[in-house]
Amino acid sequence: MASNVTEEETFQCSKCVEVLDLASRTLPCLHSFCGSCVKMILEGNRLCPQCLQSVTGDELRLAPFLVRSLRRRHLESRQLNCDTCSEDGKELTGQIWCQDCQKLLCQTCEGFHKKFQTRHETKILSGVSRVEAIRVITIDDCRQHRQSKDAFCDRCNVCMCDACYVNHVTASPQCPSRPLSVREEASKGKEKGGPTLERELCQFEINIRATNERTRRSIDELSTDCDTECSKLWQDFETFIEETRLKLGELCENMRGMASELERKWRLSLKEREELLGKVKIWRHTLGHLLSDDTDDEDVVCGLRLVGAELSARLHQSFAPPDKGHWFVTFPKWCHDSLESLKKEIIDWTSGHLQLESECPLQGSNPSLISSIVASDEDNHVFVGDWDSESILEFRDSGELVGQFPLTDGGEGFRPWDMCRLPEDILVVCCPWGSGTRTHKMSTLFLPSQQNVSSPSSLPPK
């Protein structure tokens, strides 16, 4: 089956997907980047963007596999002409390959070459296929010792001849003293490593395709779901408007009823006062008669007392006019507040699936069995319970190892089984103890120089 992957896609920068060239570099973590990205990494935080491992600028090279692949791609895209003649603007077919000079030579140039470079090793390419010629050109044997590269340094991920490996170990004592066999490693890779990677790659592709399919369905459903939700919102709003209209009508009817009752009471009060004004007229006339000179003294005494009694009973009555009425209705304020709340309405999308937000590889340590993990709110540190090392490992949120704290109680170590964090960054660590468990409480506020957890306060066995 023909592949749809182009050659350029095979040699892409791990960060910016630019096509790699011979100026690109491979980091110690085996991730390869173009020259621009390598410069940005070295001038920045010096962390690999892929795995966050630290990077130094010492002797960064492009992986030999990529070098040979780039050379092979370059050769496949052009005619195999003589390199010496090409420098003079001529185009003659190269028929001889000089391994030492790394040049293609025509027969004429090869004659001159023999005179001046008598010890250089050449291989004749005439009569072989183009594929075989490119294979011969890209063979990367050791030019110094004229040996094939049969030794492999697992630490540096590089192949070299046996003689070069001796020099390599002398310069880098941390590398294994005995190399691995390139042939044996290749055989193991084809038998185990390759098939394993192939299965992992196949599963990786399946997962990506499944995720893409779900994403496509979500994209197709997104507009429909949005329209459905908007229709529901409008329907709810129209229902709300109708219910509000009915409630507002009921409110207005109640207001009209209250207004009618107030009007009746005020008119009755007005009528009573009009009648009282009629009595005032009679009292004034009676008072005028009683105060005249020809009125009998007995009538004056008794009459004044009667008028005074009538007037006195009413002097304590309130004749203040009713205040100008106004309605206190909370409905307008409620409408205004509702509108303001609607303006501040937050639309949020809640996914139905858990999604990975970030990934933080733990650096500087390799816990063989993580029994538990908790995070700290104070400084965003992560505490990992390492079962085999009987200790708590503390990491920054970047994944950098801060410290390792062996767990001891009375000189006896114990393995962390489970952990939880209490307020003020107090860790409660549960560990197996005999036939049961024991719980230890300790503070996470360790000094940088502290190496052990001293005198943890033990709680009773659970």
Q: Give me the DSSP letters along 361-395.
A: PPPS---S-EEEEEE-TTT--EEEEETTTTEEEEE
| pLDDT per residue as tens digits for the range 86-111 | 777 777 778 888 877 888 888 888 88
Question: Which run of H or of E encompasses 429?
Answer: strand 426-433
Identity at 167, one-letter amino acid code: N
Label residue 71 left, alpha or beta by phi (over 0 means left) and psi (-120 to 50 means alpha). alpha
- Compute CA distances 106 → 96, 109, 442, whole Å: 6, 5, 78
In the chain, the percentage of residues whose pLDDT exceeds 70 is 82
In angstroms, the CA 409 to CA 402 distance is 22
In the predicted model, is pLDDT for residue 238 greater than 90? yes
For the segment 109-152, what is each residue's pLDDT rounded down to a tens digit? 888 888 888 778 788 888 788 888 888 877 777 777 777 888 88
- How much is the mean pLDDT over the chain? 78
Q: Are 107 and 126 in contact (CB under 8 A)?
A: no
Nearest 5 degrees, angle CA 223-CA 225-CA 227?
Answer: 70
pLDDT, position 3: 44
pTM over 0.85: no
Q: What pLDDT sits at residue 246?
A: 92
Q: Are 306 and 290 in contact (CB under 8 A)?
A: no
Q: What is the mean pLDDT of residues 338-352?
A: 73
**Two structure tokens written together for 76:** 């496949």
Structure-token match 């005249």, residue found:
292
Contact 159, 152 (CB under 8 A): yes
Nearest Cα neighbor of 317 from 354, 347, 276 is 276
